[in-house]
Amino acid sequence: MLKNIRIILWVAVAVSLIGMAALLWRQDDPEQTAAFRPHFALPDEAGTIHRTEDFRGKHVLVFFGFTNCPDICPTTMAEVAQVMDDLGPQAEDVQPIFISVDPERDRESGLNAYLAAFHPSILGLAGDAQSTEAAIDSFKVFGDREADASAPGGYTMSHSSSLYLIGPEGDWLGQFTYGTPADDITAELKERL
């Protein structure tokens, strides 16, 4: 009986040692620990280039959209505006960013006036085709022009609909899928801030 217990204990020790070794090995492996750090370098309406690294120290909420979008984009911006209000003084440590997937048209129609109507803190970025494509690729998201004869200008955009959360070191922390209530986003941000 005692012998059996001894054997079981030694097995437990062996298992935990193997577990420890596996954990240590994982930590040493750069492939496992390298963070995903998506990147953009895009101009605001005034032409000033903003880069991901400019926001180090802040939590950044990134949305890819277009201002001719009647449903998803204004609904998400309304949620973001609510989050920024509900964060109170902690809102200083959060930067919401709207990256246009339809930059040419959005520059013409006035991105800032549109976003300011939701919340003054939301930064609108609209690059050229190349820099927009680079940001979309880096975030591993989707933003594509679709021909639609019935839409204004003869096209509409299909685009990723989530809000992406980037941490103060530039690391991808996660995403809030469309429809996540503002309260849930606020709660998660408050936990992290």
Partner 1 sequence: MIKALVAATALAVSLPIMAFAECAEVTQGDITLSGAWSRATVGADRPAVFYVTIRNDGSSDDHLTGITTPVAAMPMLHETVIQDGAARMPHADRIVIPAGDTVSLAPGSYHGMLMELSSALDEGSSFPMTLQFEKAGPIEIKTDVLPIRAREAACAAP
Closer residue to partner 1, CB minimum distance, 52 or 161: 161
Q: Does 158 bind partner 1 (CB under 8 A)?
A: yes
Of residues 118-137, which lie at the interface with partner 1 (CB under 8 A)?
A: 118-119
Q: Virtual CA dihedral for 131, 65, 93, 56, nearest 10 degrees?
A: -20
Sign of CA dihedral 73, 79, 85, 87: negative
The residue within the footprint of partner 1, chosen from 2, 5, 47, 71 (CB under 8 A), is 71
Three-state SS for 26? Answer: helix
Q: Does 172 bind partner 1 (CB under 8 A)?
A: no
Given the rule CB under 8 A, which of 5-13, 17-25, 50-58, 151-159 is the region that contacts partner 1?
Answer: 151-159
Q: Does 178 bind partner 1 (CB under 8 A)?
A: yes
Q: Does 90 bind partner 1 (CB under 8 A)?
A: no
Residue type, 93: D
Q: Pairing state of beta strands 163-166 and 94-100?
A: unpaired
